[in-house]
């Protein structure tokens, strides 16, 4: 019974790695956190995250840690309380692999310029990465980390599969 949770700033290969893992493992990819979800209120947000904590053999593309980052950056978004975060972490502690994907801010900004994004701009990246460092550092679960400026998505997906063996 495994949950793979992919966290990280925009343009750090989360969706690409999720798709590759899904093909390799046969697990579905589920969007864990999103800008739309963050505007639905704390109760709906917690219910959504809590339901995902009950699922097995899934890949979650953004989860509670992304919520904690982006809700601090965008003040009109709902955010989990510390008690809610700890309750979810307790529920998934022995069943989840949390993967933090990151890159140098300039690498991410270049990727953003190439891809474009309707919510995030290059000027937001330094703050977002700083918030991720804080949130991941205070996470109640062990976190594995890959620098997507040094590892490509195939190598990361292979590394995650190795972790599961």
Q: Domain limits of the chain?
A: 3-164
3-state secondary structure 47-98: HHHHHHHCCCCEEEECCHHHHHHHHHHCCCCCCCCHHHHHHHHHHHCCCEEE
Convert the pLDDT of each residue in 64-119 to its tens digit: 999 999 888 887 888 899 999 999 999 999 999 999 999 999 999 999 998 877 77
Return the pLDDT at 136. Answer: 94
Residue pointed to by tokens 């700033």: 9
* Bridge partners (DSSP) listed for residue 97: 4
pLDDT over threshold 70, residue 144: yes
Helix, strand or coil, per DSSP, at residue 134: helix
Integer Cα distance of 72 and 76 in angstroms: 9
Query: pLDDT band at 42, cuts 50/70/90?
Result: confident
Question: What are the two backbone dihedrals, phi and then psi, of residue 37, each rounded to the nearest 5 degrees?
Answer: -60, -40
Note the maximum CA span of the chain. 41
Helix, strand or coil, per DSSP, at residue 30: strand
Integer Cα distance of 5 and 64 in angstroms: 9
Handedness of CA 130, 133, 139, 145 (dihedral sign): positive
Q: How far is CA 65 from the centre of its chain?
A: 6
Residue with the bigger pLDDT between 114 and 1: it is 114
β-pair type (96-102, 143-147): parallel
Helix, strand or coil, per DSSP, at residue 6: strand
For the domain spanning 3-164, the CATH number is: 3.40.50.300
Query: pLDDT band at 145, cuts 50/70/90?
Result: very high
């Amino acid at each position: 019974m495994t949950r793979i949770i992919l966290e990280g700033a925009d343009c750090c290969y989360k969706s690409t790695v999720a798709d590759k893992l899904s093909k390799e493992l046969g697990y579905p990819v589920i969007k864990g956190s999103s800008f739309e979800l963050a505007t639905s209120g704390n109760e709906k947000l917690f219910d959504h995250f809590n339901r995902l904590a009950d699922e097995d053999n899934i890949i979650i593309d953004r989860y509670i840690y992304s919520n904690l980052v982006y809700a601090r950056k965008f003040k009109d978004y709902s955010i989990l309380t510390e008690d809610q975060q700890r309750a979810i972490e307790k529920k998934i502690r022995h069943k989840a692999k949390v993967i933090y994907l990151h890159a140098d801010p300039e690498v991410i900004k270049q990727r953003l310029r190439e891809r474009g994004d309707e919510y995030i701009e290059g000027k937001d990246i330094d703050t977002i990465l700083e918030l991720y460092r804080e949130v991941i550092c205070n996470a109640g679960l062990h976190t594995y980390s890959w620098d997507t400026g040094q590892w490509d998505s195939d190598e990361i997906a292979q590394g995650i599969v190795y972790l599961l063996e």
